[in-house]
Structure 1
Amino acid sequence: MTYSIVGFDPKAKEWGIAVQSKFISVGAVVPFAKAGVGAVATQSYANTSYGPQALELMAQGKSAQETMDIITEEDPQKGLRQVGIIDANGNPATFTGKGCYDWAGGITGPHFAAQGNILVDKKTVQAMADTFIRVEGTLAERLLAALDAGQSAGGDSRGQQSAALLVVKEKGGYGGFNDRYIDLRVDDHPEPIKELIRIYQLQQLYFSPAKPEKIAVIEGEVKETIAQQLIRLQYLNADYDEEQLFKALTTFIHTENFEAREQSEGKIDLDVLDYMIKQGV
């Protein structure tokens, strides 16, 4: 009912999973990951104990394949399971039980494992593999591109319903308090992958640091545009002074949760301004 890809970025030290299924809330079932340890996708009559068990084994130093052999050998219903694993060093492993519904199978390659069951045909998994290898960008971007390519190649033979993206890195979570760098889910949607990509882009707007080339001094046309938009959005009165303008901008940034993009007074992240312009349009 599901296709997924697990991957690793050796430079950024990130581990992640992207998954789609004709199944509600697939993100609550399939993906497991821990920074410095690895990532696991468990699907097809998913045995959710595989996730914690595999992560514990890899934390002890087991490779992806060693871990796969252990968790499947101990399962009397392993013929119904499908699993993809990436270990701490990016070594992949994939398993498809003989009882999984056609089409079912998986592919491994440099730093990834792609797998799926009840697919239109094997082109879905091949498209995910080819895309992950070919596409440049962050791990999240490559995983999403691979998932989208898999859908374009055929996808789940029963259709679409939910999708999820989980990426972990050391202290990558909000405030640096955990490793949950990106944790996004679309639980029920006619086009869950497209919606997941949209939410990912929004997540990046909120939480990624501003790009130096996008930081602008608030003067001239930029200042005029900010004022126009703040007036339109009812954060600022038309007869404003400069102090009121900066206060209104701060209020907007804090109301919209853009603290991670906030600049010193007199400057603005142009991505925030672009978001402001699109608000309510």
Structure 2
Amino acid sequence: MTFSIVAFDSGSESWGIAVASKFLAVGAVVPWGRAGAGAVATQAMAELSYGPKGLELLAEGIAADQVIAQLAGGDDEREHRQVGVVDSLGRGATFTGASCLDWAGGQAGDGYAVQGNILVGQQVVAAMADAWGSRSGEPFERRLLAALAAGDQAGGDRRGRQSAALRVWREGAAYGGVLDIAIDLRVDDHQTPVDELTRLLDLHDLYFGKPDPATLLPLEGPLAAEVVAALNQLGYPADESTLAEALATWAGVENYEERLVPGKLDPVVLQQLRHQAADLRR
């Protein structure tokens, strides 16, 4: 009833899962991960305990294929299960029980595991693996989403579409830098969940993406004057001496605080400030 990719990105030391299904709130069931340990996707007749149990085994340094062997070995219903695992070193492994509903199967390699059941055919898994392999160098979350979209475009779940999710784990990557969940986006019930997930990821990048240092603009001269004028227009009193404080207050209200850099201005933030000021003038 589900197709997913579990993967590892060595450049950012991230683990992630993208999943879609004709199933309500698939993100509440399938994806499990932990920074520094690995990630597990449990699906088909999903055994939710595979998630936390798998992560404990991964945290001990056990290889992905051995994690699957231990999870399935003591499970009398294993032939109805499907699971994909990527371990702390990026080794991928996948398992599909013989009783999973057709089409069901998977493909794994260095850094990824792709699997699905009740699919229109093997082409779904093949398309996902191809998309993953062809997007090296792109941001990790975009690679995951591209692989999911490729599976969706290849036909996906043969029963239709309902939900999708994207989760990425990286040390200290959560909002505020305390927890390890970098991205946690879910579409629980939607006619085109993968498209909606793409929209949500775009919003996530807008609000929580890190500024590109190469594009930062010095917040001085005519630009500072423009920002002061826009902030005053929007109801955030500012002058040259209070610009930084007023900008921080506006950014906090509008949820752009992650993009603030002292003495600089992210062009993404500038664009949003200009749009708001222009909308008020209309």
TM-score norm. by structure 2 comes to 0.90
Instruction: Report the secondary structure of 1:164's partner residue.
Output: strand
Aligned residues: 277
Instruction: Report the secondary structure of 1:11's partner residue.
Output: coil
1:76 matched to which residue of 2?
76
For residues 150 and 221 of structure 2, the distance between their equivalents in structure 1, rounded to whole angstroms, comes to 44
Report how far residue 244 of structure 1 moved: 6.5
Structure 1 98/210 Cα, relative in aligned 2: closer, same or farther at 3 Å?
Answer: same
Please tell me whether residue 149 in structure 1 is matched to residue 136 in structure 2: no
2:13 matched to which residue of 1?
13
For residues 15 and 6 of structure 1, the distance between their equivalents in structure 2, rounded to whole angstroms, comes to 8
Instruction: Report the secondary structure of 1:150's partner residue.
Output: helix
Report how far residue 202 of structure 1 moved: 1.9
1:121 matched to which residue of 2?
121
For residues 13 and 208 of structure 1, the distance between their equivalents in structure 2, rounded to whole angstroms, comes to 17
Show the 5 A alignment for 1:53-64. 53-64=53-64
8 Å CA contact 2:64–2:85 kept in 1: the answer is: yes
Please tell me whether residue 276 in structure 1 is matched to residue 273 in structure 2: yes
Instruction: Report the secondary structure of 1:235's partner residue.
Output: coil
Instruction: Report the secondary structure of 1:175's partner residue.
Output: coil
Show the 5 A alignment for 1:182-261. 182-218=183-219, 222-223=223-224, 226=227, 229-230=230-231, 234-235=234-235, 241-243=239-241, 248-261=246-259
Unpaired segments of 5 or more residues in structure 1?
A: none
Report how far residue 82 of structure 1 moved: 0.8
Structure 1 118/248 Cα, relative in aligned 2: closer, same or farther at 3 Å?
Answer: same
1:168 matched to which residue of 2?
169
8 Å CA contact 1:235–1:248 kept in 2: the answer is: no
User: Identity of counterpart residues, as a percentage?
Assistant: 47
For residues 163 and 255 of structure 2, the distance between their equivalents in structure 1, rounded to whole angstroms, comes to 26
1:89 matched to which residue of 2?
89
Structure 1 224/23 Cα, relative in aligned 2: closer, same or farther at 3 Å?
Answer: farther
Instruction: Report the secondary structure of 1:140's partner residue.
Output: helix
Aligned CA RMSD, in angstroms, stands at 2.2
Of the structure 1 ranges 101-110 and 172-181, higher mean CA displacement relative to structure 2 is found in 172-181
TM-score norm. by structure 1 comes to 0.90
Structure 1 246/65 Cα, relative in aligned 2: closer, same or farther at 3 Å?
Answer: closer
For residues 110 and 230 of structure 2, the distance between their equivalents in structure 1, rounded to whole angstroms, comes to 47
**Paired residue type of 1:272:** V
For residues 146 and 278 of structure 1, the distance between their equivalents in structure 2, rounded to whole angstroms, comes to 33
For residues 35 and 220 of structure 2, the distance between their equivalents in structure 1, rounded to whole angstroms, comes to 43
Of the structure 1 ranges 142-151 and 176-185, higher mean CA displacement relative to structure 2 is found in 176-185
